[in-house]
């Protein structure tokens, strides 16, 4: 039996593509930070958009959780007076694991970039106002 030809359209990355309206403002900022770069080198394809939304939301939630952790601290006192790990630390740890998987999916960490043959550039040294003092 002959196979039917699939209607396959070639994907052209669209830099500047708008983020979905349902994303939180913090996730929209992540979208704008990474979307064009990932489209430009082919790491973001149409079938990846759902995963990319999750990446943006997870990254935004992780950033917020880190701020909450700084305020709350790593240890809290329970109603009975016992010292325990703060729920904020547990949230940061869980979101870190989720975020790490998303970073790997889009080759946004040094290990996956080098495995994919994407150059791992050295961090740019920021200009320090105190260098001349």
23-63: per-residue pLDDT in tens? 999 999 999 999 988 988 888 888 888 899 999 999 999 99
Which residues have a Cβ under 8 Å from the Cβ of 63 and sit 6 or more positions away? Answer: 26
pLDDT of residue 42: 86
Query: For residue 109, which of 60, 55, 46 has the smallest C-alpha distance?
Result: 55
98, β-bridge pairs? none
Q: Whole-structure pTM over 0.75, yes or no?
A: no
CA-based Rg of the chain, rounded to a whole angstrom?
20
Q: What's the CA gap between 30 and 37, in Å, rounded?
A: 12
Using 50, 70 and 90 to split pLDDT, how confident is the model at 9? very low
Cβ neighbours, 10 Å, residue 63: 16
DSSP string, 17-53: PPPPTTS-HHHHHHHHHHHHHHHHTT---GGGHHHHH
Which token pair is 2?
């002959």
Question: Where residue 119 falls among pLDDT bands split at 50, 70, 90?
Answer: confident
**Lowest mean pLDDT across 9-23, 42-56, 98-112:** 9-23
- The C-alpha atoms of residue 60 and residue 50 are separated, in whole angstroms, by 16
Contact 75, 85 (CB under 8 A): yes
């Amino acid at each position: 039996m002959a196979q039917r030809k699939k209607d396959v359209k070639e994907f052209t990355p669209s830099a500047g593509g708008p983020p979905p309206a349902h994303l939180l403002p913090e996730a929209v900022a992540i979208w704008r930070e990474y979307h064009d770069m990932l489209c430009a080198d082919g790491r973001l394809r149409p079938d990846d958009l759902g995963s990319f939304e999750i990446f943006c939301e997870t990254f935004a939630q992780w950033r917020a959780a880190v701020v909450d952790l700084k305020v709350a601290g790593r240890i809290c006192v329970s109603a009975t007076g016992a010292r325990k790990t703060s729920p904020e630390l547990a949230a940061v740890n869980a979101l870190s694991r989720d975020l790490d998987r998303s970073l790997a999916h889009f080759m946004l960490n040094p290990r996956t970039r080098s495995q994919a043959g994407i150059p791992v550039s050295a961090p740019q040294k920021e200009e320090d106002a105190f260098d001349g003092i």
